Structure 1
């Protein structure tokens, strides 16, 4: 294998069009060849059914699978989504020199010029961030006025009618680390400035609902609030100074999807509920109404119309497809439980958005995710792309632009011949030998008896880390490189932690025997078994 990619992965500037890429073989491995063109978007995505489709009785739908191996008569999949064609349209539009010919409002043109050409004193927007915002702008302002561009809008309409009939969604795919928060700020700025200066237009809004999968992400997104001390609009100069007052009129609610669950208004025990209900009385309705839920979660948005939703990590949000008895997917054990959890979370998220749409009205839902793919158990083929995805900047693109670092995978057993190098999909090869969920379940297990493949994978990664550590040490870099291991549950993490850092084994007589960590640089005990005052791991 040519190691050029691993030694010199960066080919493009993060601020310019990514005009070169490393060629990948059929297994996704770099061939060492550099292609003087942009990387194509290659995904498998469900083909949306047209809104109106007449077919004679008894006529079967022909299945076109194109080698993907997942299409059926009930759901076909396309390996060549519409993304590349839309990219070309946006590229052509971007190249138009005269802003008055862009087909957008003067306010939008001003923002586009600012993002593309402003001399930023600090952090400058990446090309991929501007392109994502441009895609949303082009679809909203340009495409509706061009006859030859309406097929993109029809595609979106069909995709949503098929999968999200109550919502109009648009997904922008951006690699982790490529800066989705900045894109959100740009979209909010675009909508707000236009809404303030064009109050009669229904195309724009100053009301925004930002939905996240967890509290941590919610806190990180506070920079989207205009009054935050670190607000991106001012601190990152995403908005010209004379437009900042307009941004202050935005109403932005940032919440996690769990808040969209209707809560009990009256806490009752089972016995108390039965007593109040009576023997033949109607079942008590103690859940808050949709309106009450909205008043609790987003009081700032009450009274506004055409709210724009920004879904962060939107792969958690979808309407599961009804399953048929003859569906091939047969999930059992942990896989079934995982699918049920995924579907429950997705159902809560999308049902909450549908409630907002019914009560307040949503202009559009814009999904931002590095992985806008259907999850296992969704009713769609696992890992297939949301069909309303219209923009893509992949992990490989981000690596080739120097935006994110090259992830390392253990390579000791990554040899040709198998369908999948086992270390790239390590969990599938060791899961049956690992403890179930719950830290207590790891108590009786031996950290030194981890599955051989897991030990080998850790040693392979550690070998690379050790070399890097020495190079940094020679270069007088004070802070050592970081080594991160992600586990599926606390039981596994406890075992792996003890294996790496060392542990004290309790003997039958109550004494303990120290065991040093298997990865020396991460050991928490000295050669005598005494713990370091400051643990390394």
Structure 2
């Protein structure tokens, strides 16, 4: 049940940055309590409070969650099956008050639910096989169940892989996902950035250690391997786990068991013996992989038979590789931090993990005690959630719990997006966005530093390292950002992963440690993408996204802003911290997908939809067509560009004179409820606005790209410059003035100029040529078959087994041709599949290809025949007239060359749909169409 939520007043809500409206929140919400309500935005721009928990869009969680809730409410007694060790730990962690650093401490509910669910499934229910887990808890809402179709299936391949296939409701597509092999238990806790994954790891380690120590026949472990995805994450985890620090800082171990806790903590660089009861290894996956590669080195036939050469005395056994040291243990539990890095079976990382499992199986034990994944984004490369997720704490919940910042999208109206592939200087191209971000940063700096002595950080995501350098250099020329180290460029690989250069890594570690320090000079960080896991600077308060996020980018929305979500330190209680997000339209839409929890953003490996194989049929040769292959009626002489006269072009508008500044209106709105909480004016001065050189270059490159003008950049730049200066605005203008630059940066103005110059220039360099036959005619009967994934119609007067159609208009018209008495044969041409096309010059001035819908042969009353090219047309785009002209000309030339009559007909949807009675003959249809085209739309032939 939902009801409208009454917003708290600004006075009630403590924020650092002034807002005009309060940020939607749930009154009294505490991060350690069970969530019983959630917020959702409504269609009218408001939001509602739902008195229920936010449903999970993962495969298993909703059904598991219901059982765990009942089990928890029973005091962990119903159903039976919990051990005394587990019960003691759960009661210690969650039913006792804890004091840490003199303050009352609670484990967060996200942490509690993750460990509770693990204990419930592993111990109480004994569900350690992922096939059994999936079969018991699959949620119908998460696989698109219906009463007619089997939407889910688990099967085993010939190579003993267990595969789950299911419909993903958000995409409507089939998804196939490998399940862990039999004997390997794999769970995943989906935990939002900043929710405290490290504490979940510690809870899991303590439970497994004491369970193995105190419970007979325990299948758990006292040996642990925590794997980080990169060196920076490793450094962060090391600060918690080195010497067991986290276990002493927080109340993980009951007081009565502290003397039973006997653990060694081995970091990846440590070379020490372990003689304790339990061991925790911490490393990054690359070291495991490299160690494994060395261990599996091919020693040749003799070497492989005899084994590796014994080590010298100086190479003591405890100096062996980390991989080999771990292999010596008789039990092992592995925890993957940021586990979305290891979801693909083909990755060397996954193979390394499986090698530990197989090693234990060969020793006669059951294999890994547990493979436990922790990540905010547990999705495979197809964008589908892992099918072994057992708990779900999404970002929206973390925002409501105030354990991360609240993201606010700073929306700028009327903004211009440069062509990213044609940028010569990124600082100039993105100048307006950069200026808005810097103006917002100045307000943040004043508010945070003045009131709380905190220094905010602006993070800028660039497309590549070249652009990152250009942006940094531009900002460093601005007063307030021009002192040493105020602008920091961090170079990563293009996928956001950090460099492997040791010197650069050490510098980066130091920078990451120091940026949050109020004494640090760093105000702006520029890098490629958002730095990924581990770069956990907490003082990022603004993110500027300057890259074209697309479905091909192997990055998810939460990852793109995740490093800015962590709360700043030393805020007083009750503060709502915000993260402002600025960027291009694509970046805004990309970030808004944060609430689309079930839809992947990465590369989608789409399962093919059902289709129909189309091919010519023997016995229907009489319905074949021979289509002449003719050259284009024109060519383009690029040399003609130099003689183009810009004075013939009309003006596109007038100059908007507002003085030597531009005011930009921005709105701040929440990502989860879409509520506008503030509007603001940003003033961009003359010397801060993008240069005329960049604007003219960008416009020239667009004309070249859209008009395909063979990269004649300098010649075209001269034309664009001359037109803009003398003719575009009805008078001569000063190109350097802000008014001209501001007007030219308007997308509607630049698009008009692009189309105007492109079309006129295309016509100018267009040269008529003689049409000739260039190849043998296209015979439909000789075409290869093809797969068609749209609609089809079964017809008999065509050479193909099925008639292909794109829409209902084409479908109905194909039926008309089939029954028309005077049509002897016809064919739907299926665009490129049947290869017939007609070249034409489009509105942008470049050559395009027109693919007609149908061919039909009409028998005339005198016994002669006419071959028709037919276009069924709904919406008429800007290029229709150009297609029509060239097709009419093609028919004339085809008639001249073949001696057979060719004609062109365009059938508008409005005309065809408004006929009272569909004609019996093509002749009658043609006559009615002539009347329609003559303007008789209101005759009795048509319905009112």
Segments of structure 2 that go 5 or more residues without pairing to the other structure are 9-20, 139-152, 156-160, 164-177, 263-276, 310-316, 361-366, 485-519, 525-944
TM-score normalised by L of structure 2: 0.38
What does residue 103 of structure 1 align with?
A: 81
Matching of residues 284-303 of structure 1 within 5 Å: 296-298=321-323, 301-303=326-328
Q: Shift of residue 388 of structure 1?
A: 1.0
Structure with bigger strand share is 2
Conserved? CA contact 1:524–1:536, under 8 Å: no
How many residues align? The count is 401
Query: Residue 232 in 1 paired to residue 265 in 2?
Result: no
Query: Residue 432 in 1 paired to residue 421 in 2?
Result: yes
Q: Shift of residue 126 of structure 1?
A: 0.6
Matching of residues 99-498 of structure 1 within 5 Å: 99=77, 103-122=81-100, 123-144=105-126, 161-162=162-163, 163-166=178-181, 167-198=184-215, 200-222=216-238, 225=241, 227-228=243-244, 231-248=245-262, 249-262=277-290, 296-298=321-323, 301-320=326-345, 347-360=347-360, 361-375=367-381, 381=382, 383-413=383-413, 431-433=420-422, 445-450=424-429, 452=430, 455-472=431-448, 475=451, 477-487=452-462, 489-498=464-473
Conserved? CA contact 2:85–2:211, under 8 Å: yes
CA 1:8 to 1:391, structure 2 compared with 1: closer, same or farther past 3 Å? same
CA 1:23 to 1:260, structure 2 compared with 1: closer, same or farther past 3 Å? same
d(CA) in 2 for partners of 1:399, 1:489: 31
Q: Shift of residue 225 of structure 1?
A: 4.1
Q: Shift of residue 484 of structure 1?
A: 2.0
CA 1:154 to 1:22, structure 2 compared with 1: closer, same or farther past 3 Å? closer
Conserved? CA contact 1:409–1:461, under 8 Å: no
CA 1:465 to 1:449, structure 2 compared with 1: closer, same or farther past 3 Å? closer
d(CA) in 2 for partners of 1:211, 1:521: 42
Q: Shift of residue 92 of structure 1?
A: 0.9
TM-superposition CA deviations, 1:257-290 (whole Å, max 9, x none): 1122256769x9xxxx9xx99xxx999999989x
Q: Shift of residue 403 of structure 1?
A: 0.6
CA 1:98 to 1:213, structure 2 compared with 1: closer, same or farther past 3 Å? closer
CA 1:458 to 1:125, structure 2 compared with 1: closer, same or farther past 3 Å? farther
Structure 1 counterpart of 2:52, from 14, 22, 37: 37
d(CA) in 2 for partners of 1:190, 1:99: 18
Q: Shift of residue 14 of structure 1?
A: 0.6
Q: Secondary structure at the match of 1:222?
A: helix
Segments of structure 1 that go 5 or more residues without pairing to the other structure are 44-80, 321-345, 376-380, 416-421, 435-444, 503-515, 526-532
Q: Shift of residue 3 of structure 1?
A: 11
Q: Shift of residue 204 of structure 1?
A: 1.6
Conserved? CA contact 1:294–1:356, under 8 Å: no
Conserved? CA contact 1:207–1:308, under 8 Å: yes
CA 1:224 to 1:305, structure 2 compared with 1: closer, same or farther past 3 Å? farther
CA 1:151 to 1:314, structure 2 compared with 1: closer, same or farther past 3 Å? closer
d(CA) in 1 for partners of 2:407, 2:98: 30
Q: Shift of residue 397 of structure 1?
A: 0.5
Structure 1 counterpart of 2:60, from 82, 92, 107: 82
Q: Secondary structure at the match of 1:239?
A: coil
Q: Secondary structure at the match of 1:385?
A: coil
Q: Shift of residue 524 of structure 1?
A: 3.5
d(CA) in 2 for partners of 1:181, 1:456: 40
Q: Shift of residue 485 of structure 1?
A: 2.3
Highest Rg: 1 or 2?
Answer: 2
TM-score normalised by L of structure 1: 0.65
Conserved? CA contact 2:427–2:471, under 8 Å: no
Q: Shift of residue 316 of structure 1?
A: 0.4
CA 1:161 to 1:8, structure 2 compared with 1: closer, same or farther past 3 Å? same
d(CA) in 2 for partners of 1:97, 1:125: 18
Q: Shift of residue 482 of structure 1?
A: 2.3
CA 1:194 to 1:535, structure 2 compared with 1: closer, same or farther past 3 Å? closer
Q: Secondary structure at the match of 2:369?
A: strand
Q: Shift of residue 120 of structure 1?
A: 1.5
Q: Secondary structure at the match of 1:144?
A: coil
d(CA) in 1 for partners of 2:356, 2:50: 46
Q: Shift of residue 150 of structure 1?
A: 6.2
d(CA) in 1 for partners of 2:242, 2:261: 7
d(CA) in 2 for partners of 1:4, 1:495: 43
d(CA) in 1 for partners of 2:401, 2:250: 21
d(CA) in 1 for partners of 2:31, 2:320: 42
Q: Shift of residue 498 of structure 1?
A: 2.1
Conserved? CA contact 2:203–2:252, under 8 Å: yes
CA 1:134 to 1:153, structure 2 compared with 1: closer, same or farther past 3 Å? farther
Structure 2 counterpart of 1:15, from 32, 55, 58: 32
Q: Secondary structure at the match of 2:287?
A: helix
d(CA) in 2 for partners of 1:358, 1:365: 13
Q: Shift of residue 208 of structure 1?
A: 0.9
d(CA) in 1 for partners of 2:463, 2:322: 31
Q: Secondary structure at the match of 2:409?
A: coil
TM-superposition CA deviations, 1:72-103 (whole Å, max 9, x none): xxxxxxxxx22111111111111013658653
CA 1:487 to 1:239, structure 2 compared with 1: closer, same or farther past 3 Å? farther
Conserved? CA contact 1:447–1:496, under 8 Å: yes
* Alignment root-mean-square deviation, CA: 4.2
Q: Shift of residue 205 of structure 1?
A: 1.0
Conserved? CA contact 2:111–2:200, under 8 Å: yes
d(CA) in 2 for partners of 1:33, 1:469: 33
What does residue 72 of structure 2 align with?
A: 94
Q: Shift of residue 463 of structure 1?
A: 4.2
Q: Shift of residue 472 of structure 1?
A: 3.6
d(CA) in 2 for partners of 1:535, 1:138: 47
